[in-house]
Amino acid sequence: MNEKEIAQRRTFAIISHPDAGKTTLTEKLLLFGGAIQVAGAVKSNKIKKHATSDFMEIERQRGISVATSVMSFQYNDTLINLLDTPGHKDFAEDTYRTLTAVDSVILVIDSVNGVEDQTRKLVEVCRMRDTPIIVFVNKMDRDGKFPFDLLDEIEKELKLSLHPLSWPINMGKEFKGVYNLHDHSLNLFTPNQKSTEENTLPIEDINDSVLDAKVGERDANQLREDVELLSGVYGDLDVKAYLDGKVSPVFFGSAVNNFGVKELLDTFIKVAPTPQGRDTDKRHVNPTENKFTGFIFKIHANLDPRHRDRIAFLRVCSGRFARNTYYKHTRMGKDVRFSNPYSFMAREKDVIEEAYPGDVVGLFDTGNFKIGDTLTEGEMMQFTGIPTFSPEIFKELVNKDPMKTKQLEKGVQQLTDEGVAQLFTQHGGNRKIIGCVGELQFEVIQYRLLQEYGASCAFQPLNFYKACWITGDKKAIEDFARFKQANIMEDKDGNLVYLAQSEWFLNTERQNNQKIEFHFTSEFKTALKN
């Protein structure tokens, strides 16, 4: 049985608006896990914001980033699987999908900038599955927003219920450290902390004069006032409410100074959920089930034309995954096995013999997988909850070389299987529209179609605002599709999609077509074979 393995594992992601400190925090967590020895090792993997059209740079980054897509390390008795999410907003869709493969997240907020654009979107995605969130307010060494104001902003803007577990003493140049509200200890701030030990001392009674001696009378009094206010509002953390995604514990710290990170990690280990079950189109799968199941949440193509292989990322959901064993690829209805599955234990890619719920396994793929595909020991079912979101930019695909039509079609199919972009084909027609989250993706597609498939294409900008998947009364949909012909597309699975020109159009159509439901996300409702 795999209960012991499950209890030891925590699978999560760090999310943030770019520049809030996700990479820095990741690096510090890896230092704690002994997975890396030097600071700076993770830093170089980031797709920097200026790399907008530097393809060599993208290629280089992608090459490295596959190794750090999942970082597994041991901390005390816990095996931590940290799934990386791309920082660049143009790859946001990749991040959304990665969030389907984690059991909880740590949200990093920049104390100076507060809630930012990307933060909002990411939290919305977490909320869809009630993913438990721990908040880390970073950059306390800078003059940021006042903590109470910041909590207020986070609660209002992100609609999160917060529960501070630590409280900062001043900020910026005057930052003295944090007081741990849970175990009543003072954690004193030392800039540029190199070691992984924190400078902590217990202060059971907040009126103890030791506090004044350590942080000065003014800050000590302010802390007393704050703590009194806090204790009136918050009691002990309701761990169940956190696990249900209803309450988010909050920590304050400074990632770059390695401050507050250990406190965060120790609490995370204690409260964060162990690998959870997942829903399929047939039933709920529990991690403790004996039989193996898992799904593909990410596909990473090798941009080096000499190595065309792709790596499919499999999240194990139940049972035990074993090397060289036949599993059912339920969408294709065929048996597949993997002789070189690899794990992502930090530093080296290692071929693994087995994996357990919560683990992520890298599978070499020659084009059999697409996002959302399910592997089982024979049961015909498909994991759900891995939706596609409406793209933000739409462009018509123009074939520039009719001699290479086949290559272009194949390339577009494969790249969209990988989830690089979404493909919409005109309902009853042949017009092809590509939808992406950011401009950068169009450049990547154009480049890859040429490099990998020898197909040359151009993109014609289109003025659409959103894609909505439509379901409902059959007759109403048929009429609507006829009436709105130019706006009705099919996604890759043949689901009908309405492309709205503007919010106004969308609202009008919703009002005029009460028998039709307009969805902003889609599940992968692929029909099962067999």
Does 187 interact with ligand G4P (rule: CB under 6 A)?
Answer: no
Half-sphere exposure of 360 (CA within 13 A, CB side): 35
Smaller CB separation from ligand G4P, 254 or 407 = 254
Minimum distance from residue 5 beta carbon to ligand G4P (Å): 31
How distant is the alpha carbon of residue 290 from its chain centre? 28
Site string for ligand G4P, 84-123 (x = CB under 6 A): ---x------------------------------------
Minimum distance from residue 223 beta carbon to ligand G4P (Å): 20
Window 32 to 91, contacts with ligand G4P (CB under 6 A): 43, 87
Tokens representing residue 135 in the block: 């908040």
Minimum distance from residue 138 beta carbon to ligand G4P (Å): 5
| DSSP secondary structure code for residue 497 in this structure | E
Does 510 interact with ligand G4P (rule: CB under 6 A)?
Answer: no
Minimum distance from residue 319 beta carbon to ligand G4P (Å): 35
Of 22, 28, 315, 448, the residue at the interface with ligand G4P (CB under 6 A) is 22
Smaller CB separation from ligand G4P, 73 or 136 = 136
Does 147 interact with ligand G4P (rule: CB under 6 A)?
Answer: no
Minimum distance from residue 111 beta carbon to ligand G4P (Å): 8
Smaller CB separation from ligand G4P, 187 or 422 = 187
* Segment lying near ligand G4P (by CB under 6 A), choices 12-20, 342-350, 378-386, 446-454: 12-20
Cα distance between residue 399 and residue 241, in whole Å:
53
Smaller CB separation from ligand G4P, 87 or 168 = 87
Of 6, 13, 15, 20, the residue at the interface with ligand G4P (CB under 6 A) is 20
Backbone Cα Rg of the chain: 25
Place of tokens 């907040």: 206
Of 89, 127, 142, 525, the residue at the interface with ligand G4P (CB under 6 A) is 142
Cα distance between residue 513 and residue 524, in whole Å:
24
Stated as kind and residue range, the H or E segment containing 185 is: strand 185-188
Window 234 to 263, contacts with ligand G4P (CB under 6 A): 254-257
Minimum distance from residue 355 beta carbon to ligand G4P (Å): 28
Of 6, 9, 15, 24, the residue at the interface with ligand G4P (CB under 6 A) is 24
Q: Which residues pair with 336 in a beta bridge?
A: 327
| DSSP secondary structure code for residue 342 in this structure | E
Place of tokens 């339920």: 330
Does 141 interact with ligand G4P (rule: CB under 6 A)?
Answer: yes
* Segment lying near ligand G4P (by CB under 6 A), choices 137-145, 174-182, 468-476, 512-520: 137-145
For 112-147, b/e burial (b = at least 16 CB within 10 A) is bebbbebbebbbebbeebebbbbbbbbbbbeebbeb
Smaller CB separation from ligand G4P, 47 or 450 = 47
Tokens representing residue 425 in the block: 């084909």
Does 16 interact with ligand G4P (rule: CB under 6 A)?
Answer: yes
How distant is the alpha carbon of residue 456 from its chain centre? 32
Best CA proximity match to 430, nearest among 349, 490, 352, 517? 490
Residues 6+ apart with CB under 8 A from 69: 83, 84, 298, 300, 313, 344
Q: Which residues pair with 490 in a beta bridge?
A: 425, 496
Of 21, 245, 391, 411, the residue at the interface with ligand G4P (CB under 6 A) is 21
Tokens representing residue 354 in the block: 């087995």
Of 88, 139, 329, 492, the residue at the interface with ligand G4P (CB under 6 A) is 139
Cα distance between residue 211 and residue 202, in whole Å:
10
Catalog residues that contact ligand G4P under the rule CB under 6 A.
16, 18-24, 43, 87, 138-139, 141-142, 254-257
